[in-house]
Chains A and B, each alone.
Chain A
Amino acid sequence: MDRNQLMKWIKAPTKMAHKYSLNAVYFCTGCGVIEVPPTITSRWDAERFGVVPTATARQANLFLITGYVSVKTLRAIIRTYEQMPEPKYTVGFGSCTINGGMYWDSYNTINQLDKYIPIDGYIAGCMPRPEAIFVAVTHLWTLIDKDMADGYKRYRKNYAAYRANQEMILGEMEWPPIFQTEVATAITEREG
Chain B
Amino acid sequence: MRILWFVLSPLMALAVGLFFLGLSRRFMARIQWRVGPPLYQPLIDILRQFTQKSVSHGPLFDLGVVLSLASSFIVVLFMPLGGTAPLSSSGGFLVVLYLMLLGPLGIALSGGEAANPNVSIGISRKLILALGYEVPFLMIVLALMTYYGTISIGEIVAAQRESASAIASFPLVFSGIAYLLILPAMLGVRPFEVVGAAQEISSGPAAEYGGPYLALATIQHGLTMFIGISLFVNLLWGGASNPVVFFLKMLVVFAFGFWVNAAFPRLRVEQAVRYLWRWPTLIAFVGLILVATIGR
Contact = CB atoms under 8 A, between A and B. Distances in A.
A41 B211 CA distance: 26
Contacts of B199: 55
Interface in B28-51: 29, 32-38, 41, 44-45, 47-48, 51
Given A48-B34, A85-B54, A87-B52, A58 B45 contact: no
B210 A21 contact: no
Given A54-B203, A59-B209, A21 B52 contact: no
The number of chain A residues touching the other chain, given as a range, is 20 to 34
B245 interface: no
Interface stretch (A12-20, A93-101, A109-117, A158-166): A12-20
A181 to B, nearest CB: 19
Interface in A7-41: 13-14, 16-18, 20-21, 23, 41
Contact of B51 (A18, A47, A59): A18
B32 A41 contact: yes
A61 B53 contact: no
Q: Is the interface of B mostly helix, strand, loop or mixed?
A: loop
A58 B44 CA distance: 17
Nearest to B213: A58
A44 to B, nearest CB: 9
A177 interface: no
Contacts of A56: 118, 202-203, 206-208, 210
B214 interface: yes
A45 B54 contact: no
A106 interface: no
Interface of A: 3, 13-14, 16-18, 20-21, 23, 41-42, 45, 47-48, 50, 52, 54-59, 61, 84-87
